[in-house]
Structure 1
Amino acid sequence: MITPVPAALHPARIHPSSIVEDGAQLGRNVEIGPFCHIGAKVRLGDNVRIMSHVVILGSTSIGDNTEVFPNAVLGCAPQNIHYKGEDTELVIGSSCTIREGVTMHPGMPDFGGKTTIGDNSLFLAYSHVAHDCHVGDHVILSNNVMLAGHVTVGDRVIMGGGAAVHQFTRVGHHAFIGGLAAVSNDVIPYGMLNGNPGVLMGLNIIGMQRSGFDRKAIHAVRRAYKTIFDSNTPIRENIAQVREQTDKNAAVADIIAFIDAESERALSSPARGQRG
Structure 2
Amino acid sequence: MLSLDLLVAGLISGLVIGLSALAVTLVFGVARFPNAATGDAMSLGAYAALAVAAGTGSLVAGGVAAVLAGILLNVILYLLVFRRLSDRSPIMSLLASIGAGFMIRSSLGLVYGQDPQAFRVPLARPLVLLDVRVQWLDLKLAGLTLATLAVVYLILAKTAAGRRMRAVSADPALARVSGIDPTRVMLTLWALAGGVSAVAGLVLGLKTVVTPDLGWNLLLPAFAAAVLGGIGSPLGAVAAGILLGIVQELATPFVGFTYKIAIAFAVLMLVLLIRPRGLFGRAEGAR
TM-score, normalised by the number of residues in structure 1: 0.21
Q: Which has the larger radius of gyration?
A: 1
> Which structure's residues are more often helix, by fraction?
2
> Which structure's residues are more often strand, by fraction?
1
TM-score, normalised by the number of residues in structure 2: 0.20
